[in-house]
């Protein structure tokens, strides 16, 4: 039976996050923008301070003590990422600046692996970061982009996916969880069917990793990408997992220091994995803090996190739907702790502005998922996204704030 986090545990967990003690506009901060960036626990902040205070140096290139200490800490962090995602090999983990960077490495790398008329498939639920790089790839290669449509519940229409697949399909990419709607996509089915026609699959795990613990070997996925700042870590760092055979086929994304084996003016040879894709000085401190963040979240436990966040989702959905004229977008039965909603005849930005005056942080707009908003024929939504350090009392505060916004704007 899964462990549940009771209220006492959550209050204890909240003590780990310094920012949750502050006020905004004279009100206690209620932070419901976790789908954009999660907050950072003290243990991760301490890891950042420790690096810059005690062993700040470049890695992999120096024989002096500080460089060796920094190198060891950075590579230990890579190992933590490997173990967290259950990659088979440590060098299948490329440390990047985030999910967008990771996707662009693969999209650029496939330029010479595709021919005119080849087909690649994306889902209608994607963040712009998992749309635009593939459009650019099609422009370079002559490949054709096809789209798995969505339905009114915010779910992919899998029957159409079956029809889109063919021997022309070379790549399939979708998010694990929609950042705009919270829908959990059936990636196991997507991967299996893509592999049946010989296509590779990239899964955008930016939104899934804060809530679940993906096993890339069990999924048999070719590429999986994520960002640390969704996982209680710092911004500007993330990871690309790729199967070794695919990473060996793809050329480097950038040239420079670190990613080379030998350089002459006549010819350069590239370093092996993972350094082939890590040109230049990396975000050393960020990588080390990424490892610390994974340690922290694993200490809490992802089963406990999922159970508690589902309770918040159910409670928040019930309470918000009690408001007349409120509509929720993304009503899949298989979703995570994201509620996107609007008030009838009121612009989401106006609601977000009033809610902020009451100390509550929500996201308004299209959430870098404009095709979803176009599908619903709306300018955007108000998005409340919950994390394991949020409470039902904070949801109550949100509900009252939305009611006040409705009264003021109607």
- Model confidence, pTM: 0.95
Catalytic residue among 209, 232, 285, 368: 368
Average of per-residue pLDDT across 178-189: 98
Domains of the chain, with CATH numbers? 7-36+301-409 (3.90.1150.10), 46-298 (3.40.640.10)
Does the structure show a pLDDT above 60 at 4? no
Whether 332 shows a pLDDT value over 90: the answer reads yes
pLDDT at 3: 46
Helices 392-409 & 302-320, crossing angle to 10 degrees?
A: 30
Can you read off the two tokens belonging to residue 388? 């394991």
Q: What is the mean pLDDT of residues 161-175?
A: 98
Residue 1 confidence (pLDDT) above 70: no
Q: Which of 48-62, 168-182, 257-271, 368-382 has the lowest mean pLDDT?
A: 257-271
pLDDT at 5: 54
368 noted as active-site residue: yes
Is the separation of the CB atoms in 270 and 279 below 8 Å?
no
Q: Check residue 323 and report its DSSP letter.
A: S
DSSP state of 161: H
The full DSSP string for 62-119 is: --SHHHHHHHHHHHHHHHHHHHHHT-SSGGGEEEES-HHHHHHHHHHHTGGG--TT-E
Give 269-279 pLDDT, tens digit per residue: 877 899 999 98
């Amino acid at each position: 039976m899964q462990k549940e986090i009771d209220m006492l545990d959550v209050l204890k967990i909240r003590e780990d996050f310094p920012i949750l003690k502050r006020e905004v506009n004279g009100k206690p901060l209620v932070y419901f923008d976790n789908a954009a960036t999660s907050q950072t626990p003290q243990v991760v902040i301490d890891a950042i301070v420790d690096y810059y205070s005690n062993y700040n140096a470049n890695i992999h290139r120096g024989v002096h003590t500080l460089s060796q200490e920094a190198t060891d800490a950075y590579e230990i962090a890579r190992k933590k990422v490997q173990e967290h995602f259950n990659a088979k090999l440590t060098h299948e983990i490329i440390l990047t600046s985030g999910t967008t960077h990771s996707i662009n490495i693969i999209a650029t790398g496939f330029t010479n692996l595709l021919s005119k008329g080849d087909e690649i498939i994306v889902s209608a639920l994607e963040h712009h970061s998992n749309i635009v790089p593939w459009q650019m790839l099609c422009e370079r290669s002559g490949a054709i982009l096809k789209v798995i449509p969505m339905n009114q519940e915010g779910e992919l229409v899998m029957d159409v996916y079956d029809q889109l697949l063919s021997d022309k399909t070379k790549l399939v990419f979708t998010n694990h969880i929609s950042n705009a709607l919270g829908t959990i996509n059936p990636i196991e089915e997507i991967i299996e069917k893509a592999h049946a026609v010989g296509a590779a699959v990239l899964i955008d795990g930016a939104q899934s990793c804060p809530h679940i613990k993906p096993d890339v070997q069990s999924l048999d996925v070719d590429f999986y990408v994520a960002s640390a700042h969704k996982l209680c870590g710092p911004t500007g760092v993330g990871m690309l997992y790729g199967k070794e055979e695919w990473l060996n086929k793809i050329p480097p994304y950038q040239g420079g220091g670190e990613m080379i084996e030998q350089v002459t003016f006549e010819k350069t040879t590239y370093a092996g994995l993972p350094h082939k894709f890590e040109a230049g000085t990396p975000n050393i401190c960020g990588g080390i803090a990424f490892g610390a963040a994974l340690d922290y979240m694993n200490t809490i436990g992802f089963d406990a996190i999922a159970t508690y966040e589902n309770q918040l989702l159910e409670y928040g959905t019930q309470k918000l739907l009690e408001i007349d004229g409120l509509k929720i977008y993304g009503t899949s039965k298989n979703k995570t702790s994201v509620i996107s909603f609007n008030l009838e005849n009121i612009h989401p930005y106006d609601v977000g502005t009033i809610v902020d005056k009451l100390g509550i942080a929500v996201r308004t707009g299209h959430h870098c998922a404009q095709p979803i908003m176009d599908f619903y024929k709306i300018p955007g939504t108000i998005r409340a996204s919950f994390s394991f350090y949020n409470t039902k009392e904070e949801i109550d505060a949100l509900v009252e704030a939305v009611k006040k916004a409705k009264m003021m704007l109607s």
